[in-house]
């Protein structure tokens, strides 16, 4: 028998889409319309650096405009190509639909290794790339709104926002042209850690449901569960930090670009992160065994595996050796379509990327709304809320005095109850609510239909159904 071929990333997404679409009753034309990528723009531009002109290649892909603006990150990586941005743009369509963020799907990328350039050079390159996209309305507050992704952060988003403002000096909404900005440049509290926080909320919601845990062969709470994380970048670091510090999970393995650390007693996530920042990788970190072949640690026994680096890391080649009960896809597309089949047959439960890493776009949505409304969340109501709470507390204290020592309010209760919600509290509340509701929509389909084998198919069913409804409402 000929060996099974691994599909490309975009083909993998299409295969997963097709598996769900086969269970739906969509008109054939509409099915095709939703699946295909509307447009991909390729740009090549030169920047004078170190005495010569260097040419860069970038992409911005628009998958579906059933809602506008379209939304999706910009990544800086040598792996960027048309197939990849189209796959990622399609995932953005389904992701936004699943978490009810009112956007179509888009994605961009620049083929560059950011580690090879200093900050000033990166600013020149980013601004030039942004200029090329802005002048074609591929960055625009009402049409196309990027965000950070692999290799980019709030620093690049601030440059993009400033570039847009320079080219649209009278646009009062210019800050809404990109999300994931620093707080002082129109960003929102809680955006940097939003994707990792969303992964934590996704895990918490999964562990609230007895039947779901049973399907993965898990029980109890997150406390003490063994977790292996691949990629300790923005998403992986925050997910690992929150799960270990706040839920008591034990991070036993961390896989990075230069190998992996493994310690069955648990790793100190903060210490590993600090080591990476100062040494450029995990090599040499004390207190853990280091393996140069990092991918081997993907196969170590654990309760939860969190791939949070890049796509295509669990494949036909290694899927049957994976030893996790639950996989939370923090990265986009870490499991190929063939590997997905193998893992399902093994009984591994997968919380799919379009849901698991949707925390980023959810908080980006809040940031975009904040930019358009020109006011910080909580600014109008916070003190009013506090004074109403103070009224109740004062009244309880008055009764308390009358009743003697029979009961009294603890200082901790008073402190918490009296504090009105600021932007960060509201962002966390909105994100938690979004992650819970989206999970429940998926699981209802997963558990109620015999023909739906996994959460990924359920997620596609929920989101394709909504995209289809939106196209139908437009008369398509």
Verify whether residue 107 is a known catalytic residue: yes
User: Binders of ligand NAD among 116-175, rule CB under 6 A?
Assistant: 148-151
What is the C-alpha separation between 80 and 89, in angstroms, rounded?
13
User: Binders of ligand NAD among 176-205, rule CB under 6 A?
Assistant: 195
User: Environment class of residue 2 by beta-carbon count within 10 Å: exposed (0-12), middle (13-18) or buried (19+)?
Assistant: exposed
Closer residue to ligand NAD, CB minimum distance, 148 or 352: 148
Nearest distance in Å: CB 148, ligand NAD: 5
390, two tokens: 């103070």
Nearest distance in Å: CB 272, ligand NAD: 11
> What is the distance, to the nearest Å, from the Cα of residue 239 to the centroid of all Cα atoms in its chain?
10
Nearest distance in Å: CB 276, ligand NAD: 7
440, two tokens: 């429940």
User: Binders of ligand NAD among 311-340, rule CB under 6 A?
Assistant: 330-332
List CB contacts of 196: < 8 A, sequence separation 6 or more: 234, 235, 236, 237, 238, 239, 240, 241, 242, 330, 359
Closer residue to ligand NAD, CB minimum distance, 21 or 314: 314
User: Can residue 231 be called a binding residue for ligand NAD (CB under 6 A)?
Assistant: yes
Q: Which of 108, 233, 253, 378 binds ligand NAD (CB under 6 A)?
A: 233
Q: Which of 232, 288, 337, 459 binds ligand NAD (CB under 6 A)?
A: 232
Closer residue to ligand NAD, CB minimum distance, 235 or 267: 235
Closer residue to ligand NAD, CB minimum distance, 186 or 231: 231
List CB contacts of 2: < 8 A, sequence separation 6 or more: none
CA 29, 31, 32, 37 torsion-angle sign: positive
User: Can residue 261 be called a binding residue for ligand NAD (CB under 6 A)?
Assistant: no
Binding residues for ligand NAD, total number by CB under 6 A: 24
Is residue 66 a contact partner of residue 467, using CB atoms and an 8 Å limit? yes
End-to-end CA distance of the chain, in Å? 44
* Residue tagged active-site, from 33, 71, 95, 107: 107
Q: Which of 310, 326, 339, 354 binds ligand NAD (CB under 6 A)?
A: 310
Q: Which of 93, 106, 140, 230 binds ligand NAD (CB under 6 A)?
A: 230
342 phi and psi angles, rounded to 5 deg: -65, -45
CA distances 289 to 219, 233, 270, 292, Å, are 29, 20, 17, 10
DSSP 154-196: HHHHHHHHHHHHHH-TT-TTGGGGSSS--GGGT--TT-TTHHH
Q: Which of 193, 256, 299, 432 binds ligand NAD (CB under 6 A)?
A: 256
254 phi and psi angles, rounded to 5 deg: -135, 120
User: Can residue 305 be called a binding residue for ligand NAD (CB under 6 A)?
Assistant: no
User: Can residue 360 be called a binding residue for ligand NAD (CB under 6 A)?
Assistant: yes
Q: Could you give the residue numbers annotated as active site?
A: 107
Binding site for ligand NAD (CB under 6 A): 148-151, 195, 230-236, 255-257, 294, 308-310, 330-332, 357, 360
């Amino acid at each position: 028998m000929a060996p099974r071929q691994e599909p490309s990333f975009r083909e993998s997404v299409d295969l997963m889409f097709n598996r769900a679409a086969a269970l739906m009753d969509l008109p054939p034309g509409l099915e095709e319309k939703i699946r295909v990528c509307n447009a991909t723009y390729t740009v090549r531009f030169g920047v004078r650096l170190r005495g010569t002109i260097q040419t860069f290649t970038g992409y911005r892909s628009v998958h579906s405009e059933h809602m506008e603006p379209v939304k999706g990150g910009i990544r800086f990586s040598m792996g960027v190509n048309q197939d990849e941005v189209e796959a990622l743009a399609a995932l953005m369509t389904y992701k936004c639909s699943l978490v009810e963020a009112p956007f179509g799907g888009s994605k961009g990328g620049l083929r560059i290794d950011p580690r090879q350039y200093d900050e000033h050079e990166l600013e020149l390159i980013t601004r030039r790339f942004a200029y090329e996209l802005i002048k074609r309305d591929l960055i625009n507050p009402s049409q196309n709104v990027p965000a950070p992704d692999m290799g980019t952060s709030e620093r690049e988003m601030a440059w993009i926002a400033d570039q847009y403002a320079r080219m649209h000096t009278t646009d009062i909404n210019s800050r809404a042209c990109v999300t994931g900005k620093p707080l002082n440049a129109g960003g929102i509290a809680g955006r940097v850690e939003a994707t990792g926080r969303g992964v934590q909320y996704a895990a918490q919601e999964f562990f609230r449901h007895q039947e779901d845990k049973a399907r993965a062969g898990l029980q109890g709470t997150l406390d003490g569960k063994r977790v292996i994380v691949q990629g300790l970048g923005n998403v992986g670091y925050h997910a690992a930090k929150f799960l270990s510090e706040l839920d008591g999970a034990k991070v036993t393995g961390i896989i990075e670009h230069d190998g992996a650390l493994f310690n069955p007693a648990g790793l100190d996530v903060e210490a590993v992160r600090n080591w990476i920042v100062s040494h450029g990788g995990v090599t040499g970190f004390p207190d853990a065994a280091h393996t140069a072949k990092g991918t081997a640690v993907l196969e170590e026994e654990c309760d939860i595996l969190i791939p949070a680096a890049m796509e295509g890391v669990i494949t036909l080649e290694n899927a049957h050796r994976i030893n996790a009960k639950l996989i939370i896809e923090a990265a986009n597309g870490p499991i190929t379509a063939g590997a997905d089949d193998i893992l399902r047959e093994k009984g591994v439960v997968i919380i799919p990327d379009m849901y698991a890493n949707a925390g980023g776009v959810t908080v980006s949505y809040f940031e975009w709304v904040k930019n358009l409304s020109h006011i910080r969340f909580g600014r109008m109501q916070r003190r009013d809320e506090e004074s109403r709470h103070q009224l109740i507390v004062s009244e309880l204290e008055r009764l308390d005095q009358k009743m003697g020592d029979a009961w009294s309010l603890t200082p901790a209760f008073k402190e918490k109850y009296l504090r009105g919600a600021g932007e960060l509290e509201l962002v966390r509340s909105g994100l938690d609510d979004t992650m819970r509701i989206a999970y429940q929509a998926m699981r209802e389909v997963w558990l109620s239909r015999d023909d739906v084998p996994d959460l990924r198919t359920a997620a596609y069913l929920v989101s394709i159904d909504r995209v289809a409804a939106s196209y139908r409402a437009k008369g398509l």
